[in-house]
Structure 1
Amino acid sequence: MKRENIAASWTAVCGVEDIVPNTGVAALLNGEQVAVFRLSDGQNAGAGPRVFAIGNFDPNANAAVLSRGLVGNLGERIVVASPLYKHHFDLQTGECLEVPENSVPTWPARIDDGKVWVGA
């Protein structure tokens, strides 16, 4: 469910320091709720923090809660566990590991000049 757009326009959603490491925040992007996650430097082999953006709406729970989930790893996959039913969503692909048909969209995300940018 990756949103592909070669000439993506980028929107600054917050400062990178506004997101506590290994947690997420919700942002409104073109009228859609997006969950933006910051992974700490320690999970990126010293290369600095990384950010990911996925849909905030958990279709399993029928609620916009993914930004409040717990970030972790399942094997090589970086995931967020939904706070309601604990389904795991891959932060790179949006795939719901337990119920793949309930996967969520993803957006490109980057850090530039101390801000988190999400591609629309």
Structure 2
Amino acid sequence: MSFQEICSLDDLVENSGVCVLVAEQQVALFWLRPDDSGGTGELFAVGNFDPVGGANVLSRGILGSVGDKLVVASPLYKQHFCLRTGQCLQDPSFSVPVYPVMLSHQKVLIGSQPFAVDAVAA
């Protein structure tokens, strides 16, 4: 799998999302940084397409947590998608792809292919 350099970490807004193009697919990129953290926080990348609402909008969703799961709430019908697995918490028959994302020398890189569903669920 190849990785594509997307941007610098400084280009992102903490605790917010942006839409990026990876291998001709829209991907929602999120940078979560807890208020009390001195570190860089965590990066997440999921498909931008909301399968319930039928539109590319997840990058504009609201970030939060449901129980111990970090989620993005779709701005359309408010379904929560887990940022680690892509699973919809309200209806498990829906999910979004989860992409590998990493930080290297303050540059954000996203894998060209999403994780396999079995690998994410593990």
Q: TM-score, normalised by structure 2?
A: 0.86
Cα deviations by residue, 1:47-96 (Å, 9 ceiling, x for unpaired): 32210000000011000000000111111100000011110000000001
> Matched residue pairs, number?
112
SS of equivalent to 1:100 = coil
Match of 1:89 among 81, 85, 95: 81
Counting only pairs closer than 5 Å after superposition, residues 57-68 of structure 1 correspond to structure 2 as 57-68=49-60
| Superposition deviation, residue 9 in structure 1 | 1.1
SS of equivalent to 2:75 = coil
C-alpha distance in 2 between matches for 1:101 and 1:16: 33
SS of equivalent to 1:51 = strand
C-alpha distance in 2 between matches for 1:14 and 1:96: 28
Runs of at least 4 residues of structure 1 off by over 6 A? none
For structure 2, the residue ranges without an aligned partner over 5 or more in a row are 113-122
C-alpha distance in 1 between matches for 2:28 and 2:14: 14
Please tell me the root mean square deviation across aligned C-alpha atoms, in Å. Answer: 1.4
Match of 1:4 in 2: none
C-alpha distance in 2 between matches for 1:49 and 1:115: 14
C-alpha distance in 2 between matches for 1:68 and 1:92: 17
| Superposition deviation, residue 114 in structure 1 | 1.4
Match of 1:18 in 2: 11
Contact kept? 1:41, 1:48, Cα under 8 Å: no
Match of 2:33 among 22, 35, 40: 40
